[in-house]
Amino acid sequence: DETVLEAENLTRKYAVGSLLRRGHVSAVDGVSLRLRRGEALGVVGESGCGKSTLARMLVGLERPDSGRLRYHGEDVTAGRRRDRHLLRAGVQMIFQDPYASLDPRMTVLDIVAEPLAANRSGTRASRRERVAELLDLVGMAPDMMSRYPHQFSGGQRQRIGIARALALDPKVLICDEPVSALDVSVQAQVINLLAGLQRRLDVALVFIAHDLSVVRHLADRVAVMYLGRIAETGDTTTLYDSPSHPYTKALLSAVPPIDRSARGRLTQRRILAGEPPSPVDPPAGCRFNPRCWLAEDRCRTEIPLLRPVDGRESACHLAEAALAEA
């Protein structure tokens, strides 16, 4: 069980506000993750929970303020040239918006071959051959390579983005909400494509989504994030069948009724009241306490740390009670 990518206590803050009223947003606050070879990890949470910042740190696009990032056991946190090189070859990103992430003036050939060219890998002819192979891998005909992005649908553009991400044979794909900009009818196709690639190429996936139903059939493990921290993490089946964190329960309740199977054994609907609080001034104690139906006094003062609870890890003082509820 080989660890490919390991994040230890990653933290990233942004300065916000004016000269008079300055503050810090903790976009990511002490997140640790371990990704094994070929496994799929779902990272789920509402917008503003720090998922995208986490994704950008995992591919080296952003440096953490503190914490460590290791790729195949090598510390690449410093972001030196060598670190960036290692990460760029081994960890690739698939972006949320397939419209914005492809240069409209480049042909598919040039887009997909770009990482190879940047890496001075092979001749122009061999790169062309590799592009044909990559397009085939993502279910597109090789003769599409002379076309431009605007000639394709959103789903096809996302396939082009995936082909480009695979060009250097990465060990990890970080997928930042790769289907949320696509039509519902196309989402499943792209998810199935990624699942197939994970198996065929033995590539590990970090699949970021705001909805638990999206990662259900894809992820081996899930990490649920709330305002910059991991609320609960464990095997997908464990989390869906018996969530131990009230926030996981609330997210599962929000899964649309068409996909009832994704709601597991959860019987009671928990409606999440309101938007998540501002990350500029997060609530003291457990950040979920203003929205939590189980909250008691200590939830407003003591920060719950991740701890083992019945076969998963949960950052809730009352995880046992939450598990026991319907």
Rule CB under 5 A: say whether 53 interacts with Mg ion.
no
Considering the complex, state which of residue 236 and residue 289 has its C-beta at the smaller distance from ligand SF4. Answer: 289
* Stretch touching ligand SF4 by CB under 6 A, among 46-54, 71-79, 161-169, 283-291: 283-291
Which residue of 295, 306, 309, 313 would you call a contact of ligand SF4, by CB under 6 A? 295
- Determine if 52 is a binding residue for Mg ion (CB under 5 A): yes
Quick one: what does residue 152 bind among Mg ion, ligand SF4, none, with the CB cut-off 5 to 8 Å set by partner type?
A: none
DSSP state of 143: G
Q: Near ligand SF4 by CB under 6 A, which window of 144-152, 189-197, 264-272, 316-324?
A: 316-324
Near Mg ion by CB under 5 A, which window of 29-37, 50-58, 234-242, 294-302?
A: 50-58
279 binds, among Mg ion, ligand SF4, none (CB under 5 to 8 A by kind): none
Distance CA 173, CA 15 (A): 29
Angle at Cα 240 formed by Cα 237 and Cα 246, nearest 5°? 140
| 242 is an interface residue for Mg ion by CB under 5 A | no
Least gap, CB of 244 to ligand SF4 (angstroms): 9
Q: Which partner, ligand SF4, Mg ion, none, binds residue 50 by CB below 5 to 8 Å per kind?
A: none
Q: Which among 44-52, 103-111, 274-282, 287-295 is the span making contact with Mg ion, rule CB under 5 A? A: 44-52
C-beta closer to ligand SF4: residue 82 or 307:
307
Which of ligand SF4, Mg ion, none sits in contact with 13, Cβ below 5 to 8 A by type? none
Task: Choose from ligand SF4, Mg ion, none: what does 52 bind? Cβ within 5-8 Å by kind.
Answer: Mg ion
**155 and 182 Cβ atoms separated by less than 8 Å:** yes
Complex with ligand SF4: residue 212 or 299, whichever CB lies closer: 299
What the block records as the tokens of 272 is 């999440």
Decide if residue 137 touches ligand SF4 (CB under 6 A).
no
Contacting residue, 128, 294, 323, 325, with ligand SF4 by CB under 6 A: 294
The gap from C-alpha 111 to its chain's centroid, in whole angstroms, comes to 23
By CB atoms closer than 10 A (0-12, 13-18, 19+), residue 246 is buried
Measured between alpha carbons, how far is 238 from 244 in angstroms, rounded to an integer? 9
By CB under 6 A, tell whether 240 contacts ligand SF4: no
**What's the CA gap between 290 and 272, in Å, rounded?**
10
What is the Cα–Cα distance from 301 to 41, expressed in whole angstroms?
A: 31
Could you tell me the two tokens for 309? 């609870």
- Does residue 156 bind Mg ion (CB under 5 A)? no
Taking Cα atoms as reference points, which of 279, 281, 286 lies closest to residue 303? 286
Residues 6+ apart with CB under 8 A from 59: 87, 91, 92, 93, 174
Taking only Cα atoms into account, the Rg of the chain, rounded to an integer number of angstroms, comes to 20
Residue from 190, 173, 172 nearest 181 by CA: 190
Q: Which of 234, 314, 171 is nearest to 42 (CA)?
A: 234
Q: Is 318 in the site for ligand SF4 (CB under 6 A)?
A: yes
Name the one range near ligand SF4 by CB under 6 A: 79-87, 105-113, 203-211, 293-301. 293-301
- Which residues touch 74 (CB under 8 Å, ≥6 apart)? 86
Q: Which residues of this protein are in contact with Mg ion, per CB under 5 A?
A: 52
Q: Which residues of this protein are in contact with ligand SF4, per CB under 6 A?
A: 245-246, 286, 288-289, 292, 294-295, 299, 304, 316-318
